Amino acid sequence: MTASWACAPTRWPWHLETDQLTIEPLHQQMIPDVIALMELGEPFITARTYSDYWLYATLFSSTCPVAIIDGQVVGTVIAFRSQDDPSEVYVQDVMTHPDHRRRGITRRLMARVLERAREMGCGRIFLTSEPHNQAAHRAWVALGFGSVSGDRTVDGVPVITDFKGPGKTRAVYELTIARSPGTVE
């Protein structure tokens, strides 16, 4: 499936302002606010440690966009380009503040990750959701992701048993990125 929700490509580092929403790469000063945001994500998101976010802000900021409204961190995507297969970007966490859901924040953040993946010449973005996370399932489908085949279904969604280790069954989604002229490896 090819993405249809991408913004027009711009150069990185990027900084997007539309209405009150600003999207910025994760930087170290944001880490306490990002942890506070992630702590609102139970049961599907668990905040990681400060040093984890330090790593993301220091080594992966261009694929970790943060959404800010009136100075408040309201959403983030944590994603990485694979070193083992540099054509792939893996999305680890996606979170929108409960007061700001269904306003297109994830759509905008994921568009930013797609834009960066395209700049890096990647061909695929993939992510996982926990079974029963219907909001996430609907979001990934709405954003053009397809389900990777599973060994069974949960609530009609294909899942792969133990995908992330024993007891960690996941629905897996992927988006193929169409190559565009002028892509930089």
Ligand X SMILES: CC(C)(COP(=O)(O)OP(=O)(O)OC[C@H]1O[C@@H](n2cnc3c(N)ncnc32)[C@H](O)[C@@H]1OP(=O)(O)O)[C@@H](O)C(=O)NCCC(=O)NCCS
- Nearest partner of 38 among 92, 104, 117, 103, judged by Cα: 92
Q: Tokens representing 149?
A: 């085949």
Return the residue of 41, 123, 146, 158 that touches ligand X, per CB under 6 A: 41
Return the residue of 15, 27, 138, 152 that touches ligand X, per CB under 6 A: 138
Return the residue of 101, 126, 132, 160 that touches ligand X, per CB under 6 A: 101
> Shortest Cβ distance from residue 5 to ligand X (Å)?
9
C-beta of residue 129 within 8 angstroms of C-beta of residue 143? no
48 binds ligand X (CB under 6 A): no
C-beta of residue 65 within 8 angstroms of C-beta of residue 113? yes
How many chain residues bind ligand X (CB under 6 A)?
21
Q: Which helix or strand (DSSP H or E) is residue 38 part of?
A: helix 31-38
Site for ligand X in 146-185 (CB under 6 A): none
Q: Which helix or strand (DSSP H or E) is residue 125 part of?
A: strand 124-129
Return the residue of 94, 114, 172, 175 that touches ligand X, per CB under 6 A: 94
Q: Tokens representing 169?
A: 């069954």
Q: Tokens representing 52?
A: 């984890």
Residue closer to ligand X by CB (options 11, 102) is: 102
DSSP assignment letter at 110? H
C-beta of residue 126 within 8 angstroms of C-beta of residue 90? yes
* Coil, helix or strand at residue 167: coil
Residue closer to ligand X by CB (options 1, 135) is: 135
129 binds ligand X (CB under 6 A): yes
Return the residue of 44, 60, 90, 163 that touches ligand X, per CB under 6 A: 44
> Shortest Cβ distance from residue 116 to ligand X (Å)?
18
The region of 14-22, 94-102, 112-120, 158-166 touching ligand X under the rule CB under 6 A is 94-102
107 binds ligand X (CB under 6 A): yes
The whole-angstrom separation of Cα 128 and Cα 20 is 30
5 binds ligand X (CB under 6 A): no
Q: How many residues does the chain have?
A: 185
> Which residue ranges make up the site for ligand X (CB under 6 A)?
41, 44-45, 75, 94-96, 101-107, 129, 133, 135-136, 138-139, 142
